[in-house]
């Protein structure tokens, strides 16, 4: 396995101009062979009538907000207006307005003038983020707004401000032009067109326009687009990605934070995998100029041959207690709200729509694997999807989580539970089929369901609970009704998981998030018999991962249920738990998810302790002790995964 953050000799082209030397050094530092082809230069508008008009109105107090889009533009604007106006008057007038800075660069430029921004737009600093920041901080209707623009005017942004009732004045201060020497750009176009470059990095939208402009001038436009099909495209952020999409190119990677260093470091991290994937897709007939993760075709061979590759993967070997070259790692809730790509998709569809649209569920699943470089995918779904066809009603309320419309709290309510129709969850099976086809055969696909106790608790409580009064009340008051609920759920869950396996799941996991509320005696009487029956009904040869939280007192009983892999939460000591369970079972776990909010060095230290407790035994799968939390920094997740791979590689 290659060392993280290393291009390992890949040829990397950058179109950066102002920071060309810096980006070349970064590519070299990360083991790449750089080609820097400057694609633009900033030309200040020295006699800017708009800038002087802006200064006059600013001093007259005619602006409520001033939006500064770039650091270079902020400096250029002040320089332009200071030729005709006293700089003290400009500063004084700015202090009387609301200054909006699009990220840290305008903030730094303001600091040089001993001025402070009233509103700083957070990353990724797109024009949409500016709108959100303004909506959170101020009312736009009727406000007079000046926007320091750069290069090409952002018509969408200006239009959006006006639609919200703002009176907008655009203040262009510099424009983009081609470099005086375009020979390096021509050479880069020819090299990409001839498929001699591995990766192309774009750090601004204007680079894309100029690249295509020059390609057209030299008669290489068609050849360039063809060459880009086998070249991995790195985009610094959402605005650049939107421009790439506009010209018919899909970016292959975009970092969570739109910074040049992050782009290079993260593309170096998985560059070889991205290049390999894109070229295999192209070879198999995929149009890699405009494509989605679900379009990937790894092999035109039989499903049987792909299954053989998956069975020999590091993850599957660990499930079977076989020796592996390194410790496999995946993370519960690895496709979730902490990822920008997921949040963007969720802003367009509801949670249930996402679950019930196979292509979208598959896309979310695949994007997480591509981004994180984990050893297994877990299909995007929810443990409560199974209750909808049982007739109890399911809804997801914003801010409140899942709610059961008709809670099951009596024997009569239990009798009304419908028989499970496996076809009612066909959308999950379809998502699995799409994912398995588009997923690297060397990575396992995990299907899952909620364990009967946790799902029953949701159905009885009607939602989340702290003390499970209704659940335990039914269990103690009417054991017959309780066992009937568990029997119905066990039968339904076995059918559901077997259909997932048939659709392409290589492994299945049972989530028993609430079972830790039970005593040993209650677990033995009210849960264990049903878990044994459920797991015995799952297709033979498919590994089952049994994960619960708060289960330190139940681990030996959980072993009796028959699963091949037992997941541990962060509250237990891994080596003691494994010894208690027995080394004839594989173990998964168990870093505290909150540790991902600390520093990379602390994450590595704590992760090392857990790995060392496994003592190199076969059958260890690294994971968190529960799911990734919504605000977890993506960079820390990447650091965790890379450390597990690097530290355990033999």
pLDDT, one tens digit per residue, over 497-555 is 999 999 999 999 999 999 999 999 999 999 999 999 999 999 999 999 999 999 999 99
pLDDT at 517: 95
| 458: annotated active-site residue | yes
Secondary structure class of 516 (helix, strand, coil): helix
Fold of 306-593+619-627: TIM Barrel (3.20.20)
pLDDT at 5: 78
User: How many other β-carbons are positioned within 10 Å of the β-carbon of residue 329?
Assistant: 29
Q: Provide the token pair at 498.
A: 């077997």
Q: Which of 496, 527, 473, 512 is nearest to 388 (CA)?
A: 496
pLDDT at 399: 64
Q: Does the pLDDT value for residue 75 go beyond 70? A: yes
Marked catalytic residue, from 252, 295, 382, 642:
382
Marked catalytic residue, from 458, 496, 523, 642:
458
Examine domains 43-177 and 306-593+619-627 and report if their fold is the same: no
Question: What would the mean pLDDT of 92-100 be, rounded to a whole number?
Answer: 95
Marked catalytic residue, from 306, 333, 340, 371:
333
Does the domain at 11-40+179-291 match CATH 3.40.50.10090? Answer given as yes
Looking at per-residue pLDDT, the higher value among 269 and 305 belongs to 269
Residues facing 253 on adjacent strands: 234
| 556: annotated active-site residue | no
For the chain, the domains span: 11-40+179-291, 43-177, 306-593+619-627
Looking at per-residue pLDDT, the higher value among 1 and 629 belongs to 629
Question: What would the mean pLDDT of 300-322 be, rounded to a whole number?
Answer: 90
Pairing of strands 41-44, 174-177: antiparallel
| Measured CA angle at 121 (ends 145, 135), to 5 deg | 60
Peptide bond into 124 cis (omega under 30): yes
Fold of 43-177: Rossmann fold (3.40.50)
Q: Which of 187, 370, 348, 343 is nearest to 278 (CA)?
A: 370
The rounded distance, in Å, linking the Cα atoms of 358 and 61 is 55
pLDDT at 72: 85
Marked catalytic residue, from 41, 320, 337, 571:
337
| 111: annotated active-site residue | no
Q: To the nearest 5 percent, what fractions of the chain are helix, strand and coil?
A: 50, 15, 35
Outline where DSSP puts E strands in 324-423.
376-378, 394-397, 401-404
Look over the chain and give the mean of its residue pLDDT values, rounded to a whole number: 94
The rounded radius of gyration (Å) of the Cα atoms in the chain is: 28
Question: What are the backbone angles phi and psi of residue 480, rounded to the nearest 5°?
Answer: -60, -45
Edge-to-edge strand list for the sheet holding 144-149: 119-120, 98-101, 65-68, 144-149, 167-172
| 617: annotated active-site residue | no
Q: Provide the token pair at 414.
A: 């239990």
The rounded distance, in Å, linking the Cα atoms of 577 and 617 is 14
Let me know: does 618 contact 326? Beta carbons within 8 Å. Answer: no
Question: What would the mean pLDDT of 463-473 be, rounded to a whole number?
Answer: 91
Q: Does the pLDDT value for residue 1 go beyond 60? A: no
Let me know: does 573 contact 547? Beta carbons within 8 Å. Answer: no
| 337: annotated active-site residue | yes
Question: What would the mean pLDDT of 4-10 be, rounded to a whole number?
Answer: 88
Question: pLDDT class for 400, splitting at 50, 70, 90?
Answer: low
Cα torsion for 334, 313, 444, 592, to the nearest 10°? -30
């Amino acid at each position: 396995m290659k060392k993280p953050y290393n291009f390992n000799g890949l040829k990397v082209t950058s179109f950066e101009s102002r920071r060309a030397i810096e980006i070349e050094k970064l590519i070299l530092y990360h083991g790449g062979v750089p080609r820097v082809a400057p694609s633009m230069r900033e030309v200040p508008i020295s006699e800017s009538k708009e800038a002087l008009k802006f200064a006059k109105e600013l001093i007259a107090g005619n602006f409520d907000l001033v939006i500064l889009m770039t650091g270079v533009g902020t400096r250029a604007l002040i320089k332009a207006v200071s030729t005709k106006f006293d700089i003290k008057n400009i500063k004084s007038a700015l202090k009387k307005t609301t200054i909006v800075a699009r990220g840290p660069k305008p903030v730094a430029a303001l600091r040089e003038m001993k001025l402070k921004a009233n509103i700083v737009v957070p990353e990724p600093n797109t024009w949409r983020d500016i709108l959100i920041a303004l909506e959170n901080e101020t009312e736009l209707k009727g406000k007079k707004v000046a926007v320091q623009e750069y290069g090409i005017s952002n018509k969408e942004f200006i239009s959006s401000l006006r639609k919200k009732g703002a009176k907008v004045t655009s203040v262009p201060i510099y424009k983009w032009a081609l470099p005086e020497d375009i020979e390096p750009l021509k050479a880069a176009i020819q090299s990409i067109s001839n498929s001699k470059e591995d990766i192309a990095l774009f750090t601004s939208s204007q680079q894309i326009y100029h690249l295509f402009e020059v390609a057209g001038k030299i008669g290489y436009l068609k050849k360039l687009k063809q060459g880009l099909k086998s070249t991995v495209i790195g985009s610094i952020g959402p605005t650049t990605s939107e421009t790439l999409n506009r010209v018919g190119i899909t970016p292959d990677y975009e970092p969570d934070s739109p910074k040049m260093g992050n782009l290079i470091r993260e593309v170096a991290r998985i560059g070889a995998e991205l290049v390999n994937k894109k070229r295999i897709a192209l070879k198999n007939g995929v149009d890699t100029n405009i494509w989605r993760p679900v379009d990937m075709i790894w092999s035109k061979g039989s499903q049987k041959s792909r299954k053989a590759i998956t069975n020999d993967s590091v993850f599957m070997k660990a499930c079977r207690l076989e020796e592996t070259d390194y410790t496999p790692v995946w993370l519960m809730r690895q496709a979730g709200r902490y990822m920008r790509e997921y949040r963007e998709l969720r802003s367009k569809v509801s949670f249930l729509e996402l679950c019930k649209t196979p292509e979208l569920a598959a896309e979310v699943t695949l994007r997480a694997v591509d981004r994180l470089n984990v050893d297994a995918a877990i299909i995007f779904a929810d443990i409560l999807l199974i209750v909808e066809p049982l007739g109890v009603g399911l809804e997801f309320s914003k801010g409140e989580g899942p709610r059961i419309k008709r809670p099951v709290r009596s024997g009569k309510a239990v009798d009304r539970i419908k028989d499970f129709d496996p076809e009612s969850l066909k959308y999950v099976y379809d998502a699995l089929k799409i994912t398995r086809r588009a997923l690297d055969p060397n990575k396992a696909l995990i299907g899952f369901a909620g364990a009967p106790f946790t799902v029953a608790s949701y159905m009885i409580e009607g939602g989340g609970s702290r003390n499970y009064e209704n659940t335990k009340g039914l269990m103690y008051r009417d054991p017959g009704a309780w066992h009937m609920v568990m029997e119905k759920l066990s039968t339904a869950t076995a059918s559901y998981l077997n259909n997932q396996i048939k659709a392409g799941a290589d492994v299945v996991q049972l989530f028993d998030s609430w079972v830790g509320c039970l005593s040993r005696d209650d677990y033995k009487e009210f849960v264990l018999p049903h878990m044994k029956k459920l797991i015995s009904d799952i297709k033979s040869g498919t590994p089952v991962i049994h994960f619960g939280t708060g289960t330190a007192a139940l681990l030996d009983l959980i072993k009796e249920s028959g699963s091949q892999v037992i997941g541990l939460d962060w509250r237990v000591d891994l080596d003691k738990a494994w010894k208690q369970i027995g080394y004839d079972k594989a173990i998964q776990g168990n870093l505290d998810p909150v540790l991902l909010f600390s520093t990379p060095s602390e994450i590595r230290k704590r992760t090392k302790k857990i790995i060392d407790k496994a003592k190199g035994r076969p059958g260890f799968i690294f994971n968190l002790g529960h799911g990734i939390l919504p605000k977890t920094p993506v960079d820390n997740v990447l650091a965790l995964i890379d450390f597990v791979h690097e530290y355990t590689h033999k």
